[in-house]
Structure 1
Amino acid sequence: MRGITAMMNVLSVLVQPKDMLLLEKNKEPAKEQNCTTPHLFCYPAQSNFSGTKYPLSWIRKIKARELCPVRIPGKWFVLLDAAAFVSTSPLDLTVHTADFVAISFYKIFGFPTGLGALLVNNEIAPFLRKIYFGGGTAAAYLAGEDFYSPRQSIAERFEDGTVSFLDIIALKHGFDALERLTGGMENIKQHTFALAHYTYTVLSTLKYTNGAPVVHIYSDTDFSNPDVQGPIINFNVLDENGDIIGYSQVDKMASLYNIHVRTGCFCNTGACQQHLGISNEDIKRNLQAGHMCGDDIDIIDGRPTGSVRISFGYMSTFEDAQNFLKFIIATQLSKADMKFPSQPTPTKTVTESEESPMQNDQTSCHNADVLSMKTIIADTGPWNNSSAMLKTTRWQPPETELERTRAAVFERAVPVHSSSNKPISVTNICLYPIKSCSAFEVTQWPVGNQGLLYDRNWMLVNQNGVCITQKQEPRLCLIHPSIDLKQKIMVIKAEGMDPIAIPLEENLEKERQICQSKVCAHRVQTYDCGERIADWFSEFLGRQCHLIRQSSDFKGNATQKHVKGQAPSATLSLSLVNEAQYLLINTASILYLKEQIIARLEEPLETEQLIQRFRANIVINTMEPFEEEEWAEISIGALHFQVVGPCNRCQIICIDQKSGERNKEFLQSLSNARGRKTHFGIYLMNQSSCSSSSYILSVGSPVFPMLKESTKIQCPPSNEEKASG
């Protein structure tokens, strides 16, 4: 609105709720004046951020000049944003005579999506002027002359084009059902507030064993009066030390319990800034750091970028409120939280003068007591800098210093050795030709310009062209694609189905069906692999679907990913992956996590099965768990990779890749082991000057990492040291 008023040279003034409440308390009516210049006061009946309800009495007082938001002479009109308010509260327009009222039917019924209305007082309609007109709004107009006459009805004049008449028809059924099921909006108001009051009361009293609160609730009221508080609770979850757990982590854990929460700032930056203490400069810095509305970057420099919101509607039940509280208790206050220490944060390198708590056998590397004290990240040789410090692993903006030294570092990079002098190497290589289907494991494989050759070149979509993943269809893991480079075919197998083959060479025929699809909100150009293939997958999954392939003809329009440390113009092409070209995990990290999961499940777990759940392209083996998270770049043979960030895990790791069965304990165990985070593995982008199938990635290849914020490379032991060791 500020942009529109600025173009018309109309002044817009920000008014804080506290300023209005203070004006109302002081009761200073405006002086009588004859000025009739129109002014518009806009405010929400209920905050969609905190659920705070603002006085509807302001409408009458402002129009009667008993309350003046700004000391400017003129006639005041009121626009009331009632979208959040009317979803659970009655609004009598004969009492609260706002001039304009915005409402959302979607917020009331949950259907139809995106349908709302602007209610306009008939007495105000003549004041409204349009600067354009569209189909159906003109009584008459001329093509060759500047002549246009609007329709007389205010609705017909402002409803451009064809209205959503089928959705509008559904509204009567919605209101009838609402009345029949609930008895009216006043009952809904009391019901939803009772649920919110109960949840708030329990949530606000939850404490850790050290007395620290489990959540921080953002509210302007004490939830004692439904006239001033709606059924919305906004909060952030805290750990035992009072640090905020990012909203994206809470969202992922909630999904395991079939709970849907909203996260971020909820398109209400003002309330978000006020409650979270985010300044205007913070918003700008966060944008420079890469954070945008709607993403999952929830913590920057230790401070939250948003929060978590739950809300209750007329269909919500007491059991829903209890299930939410059980989720918070199970994930934050379970015995497992005390039984398993958080994954340690490296704080410094170990020098010769310090006695290492680690033993040289691999078993001791995963001892929880040892890990809670210190993590060794380097040899104890004399080349280490005893004063070197490593920062806590958090999401950070790009490091410009890294780019200046990268080329020089890789020329002299050598493997980082652990305390047992064992070099790091690649142990497994997997590609996933069909997105979300089973892995195809190889010992060596060509590298393409989008990652491993043919990795995630295909994916399954439903009848609406939406990607199908294991989140919706766990049985995808039972589909086994394999690639024969000599015969140039991909063979797909599944139990109870005859194998089917697809040529690797692209279908370049003109009649092929080109279609647009989405992968994580990014549009990609694909083509359909045909009805024969679609029938095979549809029969196995028991639902209609199609196999599509990314088209090489449209690589210029393919998903592009900016890489930290590179110039903004430098982008790398992706296949149908979510985030980056490669995903790397560490067997040492797997073994550490395995101990935590076994203790929770109290049943055996195969290491190989756990590795498969994390669906990595490259598996390595270091001596220290999570050592890979301290790397900025790595080199494997002639290939150079830049680490672009940690992999935030979702509920797919809860799916057994052999059977398709779900078990939410896996994501829960990861969250507990990582200090309420769900990071596991790192994303890589290929930084080699030339990416083509002439490059081969092989099992057994040595891995040469470079630590974050450091150009010092650890020297390997000499031959004499090897002999004496």
Structure 2
Amino acid sequence: MAEPESAAAAVSARVKSLFIYPIKSCRGISVSEASLSSTGFRWDRQWMVISSKGRAITQRVEPMLALIQVELPTEAFCEDWEPSNNSYLVVRAPGMDVLKVPLSKPRETSDGVSLWDWSGSAFDEGDEPSKWFSSFLQKPCHLVRFNEVNETRAVDPNYAHGYKIMFSDATQFLILSQGSLDELNKLLKEPVSANRFRPNILVDGCEPFSEDLWKEININKLTFHSVLLCYRCKVPTVNQETAAVGSEPNETLRTFRSDEVLRPNKKQRGRVYFGQCLVCSDSITDVKEKIIRVGDPVYALKSVSSPSEAAA
């Protein structure tokens, strides 16, 4: 593959892994290639579990979501693929029967669905998924799908203007480097996997925390802009294999990745940073091919000199 004309510099890193999280806060799917939609990777955070009051349920309050495995048809990650009447989102969890959710759009909607400061309507996947999730989490739940026909959820314009997401927390993508993870694991008694941090794009071949400094990157001729350093909630403290909650890795991260350390001259918010949040400017254009693959080179087109200069 030829280098993009705008990338005069050498390759900064390569895509090591790609992850898509169809149901917010449930396990991700590792894929060899991922196609872009107007809201991020296709299928990413398109579904969400909500309470009886319509509020989002995440691992912050229900760590057991980490044990829920999600599958989509392999071909679903190919560009331009469309589901048939026999296409399903397959959901598994310990002690539960397999749940199959048709990928055809539901007819029913739920009003008053809320996530952070957004509220609106969403497609309701119906009684069977509701009973399944309610049984597993031991509380009344519904599974809903983002209603892109009637709803728009914008990225906070203070971060990036004109971009859309579905049920992601804040932005379209999260990038993390293997070097940063390796550096963290040198300090931990028990190393952690990348799944603690739920990245969409894991890169390798760069110096630790290089992603802090990237302001604009190019992957397969698609341009990604950094939006803000990702500040971490309690989710990284949830063991994604057992759902057990501890104090690490956040406790260790606080010793060298806090705003006090990285951004001493900025307003202190008690935050801990790990990874970078991105949007893709080509998600809102008519670029012909919108796909990235494992192994693709990553070109850093614009950078800042220190984390204190990055948006956060």
Give the TM-score category using the shorter length. Answer: 0.7 to 0.9
Identical positions, percent: 28
1:707 equivalenced with 2:302 (yes/no): yes
Aligned residue number for residue 648 of structure 1: 231
SS state at 1:672 partner: helix
> Counterparts in 2 of 1:124-523, with a 5 A limit?
411-414=5-8, 416=10, 423-484=12-73, 485=76, 488-507=87-106, 509=107, 512-523=108-119
State the alpha-carbon separation in 1 of the partners of residues 62 and 9 from structure 2: 41
Return the match for 2:146 from 524, 538, 550: 550
Q: In structure 2, do the counterparts of structure 1 residues 543 and 452 end up closer, same or farther at CA, with 3 Å as the change threshold?
A: same
**Aligned AA for 1:459?**
M
Aligned residue number for residue 535 of structure 1: 131
CA contact (8 A) 1:447 1:693 kept: no
Q: In structure 2, do the counterparts of structure 1 residues 563 and 703 end up closer, same or farther at CA, with 3 Å as the change threshold?
A: farther
CA contact (8 A) 1:561 1:574 kept: no
From the two aligned structures, give the one with the greater strand fraction: 2
Q: In structure 2, do the counterparts of structure 1 residues 619 and 493 end up closer, same or farther at CA, with 3 Å as the change threshold?
A: same
1:408-461, Cα deviation, whole Å (9 max, x unpaired): xx74214545xxxxx511001001100111111111122111011010011111
Q: In structure 2, do the counterparts of structure 1 residues 414 and 424 end up closer, same or farther at CA, with 3 Å as the change threshold?
A: farther
CA contact (8 A) 1:515 1:528 kept: no
Aligned residue number for residue 660 of structure 1: 243
State the alpha-carbon separation in 2 of the partners of residues 590 and 465 from structure 1: 35
SS state at 2:163 partner: strand
SS state at 2:54 partner: coil
State the alpha-carbon separation in 2 of the partners of residues 503 and 639 from structure 1: 32
SS state at 2:212 partner: helix
SS state at 2:241 partner: coil
Aligned residues: 280
Greater Cα radius of gyration, structure 1 or 2:
1
From the two aligned structures, give the one with the greater helix fraction: 1
SS state at 1:580 partner: coil
SS state at 2:53 partner: coil
How far off is 1:490 after superposition? 0.9
State the alpha-carbon separation in 2 of the partners of residues 468 and 692 from structure 1: 35
CA contact (8 A) 1:560 1:574 kept: yes
CA contact (8 A) 1:534 1:546 kept: yes
Q: TM-score, normalised by structure 2?
A: 0.83
State the alpha-carbon separation in 1 of the partners of residues 277 and 286 from structure 2: 17
**Aligned AA for 1:542?**
Q
**Aligned AA for 1:657?**
Q
State the alpha-carbon separation in 2 of the partners of residues 698 and 563 from structure 1: 30
Aligned residue number for residue 581 of structure 1: 172
Return the match for 2:279 from 660, 674, 685: 685
Q: In structure 2, do the counterparts of structure 1 residues 414 and 613 end up closer, same or farther at CA, with 3 Å as the change threshold?
A: farther
State the alpha-carbon separation in 2 of the partners of residues 465 and 705 from structure 1: 41
Q: In structure 2, do the counterparts of structure 1 residues 415 and 540 end up closer, same or farther at CA, with 3 Å as the change threshold?
A: farther
State the alpha-carbon separation in 2 of the partners of residues 693 and 514 from structure 1: 35
**TM superposition outliers: structure 1 runs of 4+ over 6 Å:** none
SS state at 1:561 partner: coil
Q: Structure 2: which 5+ residue stretches go unaligned?
A: 77-82, 261-270, 306-312
State the alpha-carbon separation in 2 of the partners of residues 416 and 515 from structure 1: 50
Bigger relative contact order (CA 8 A; separation at least 6): 2
How far off is 1:691 after superposition? 6.1
1:537-556, Cα deviation, whole Å (9 max, x unpaired): 1111111111111102123x
1:583-610, Cα deviation, whole Å (9 max, x unpaired): 0001100011111122xxxxx42xxx42
CA contact (8 A) 1:448 1:691 kept: no
CA RMSD, aligned part only? 2.1
Q: In structure 2, do the counterparts of structure 1 residues 691 and 673 end up closer, same or farther at CA, with 3 Å as the change threshold?
A: farther
1:485-518, Cα deviation, whole Å (9 max, x unpaired): 26532111112212111122322x3xx1331322
SS state at 1:554 partner: coil
1:614 equivalenced with 2:197 (yes/no): yes
Aligned residue number for residue 233 of structure 1: none
**Aligned AA for 2:113?**
S
Q: TM-score, normalised by structure 1?
A: 0.37
State the alpha-carbon separation in 1 of the partners of residues 36 and 45 from structure 2: 13
CA contact (8 A) 2:177 2:206 kept: no
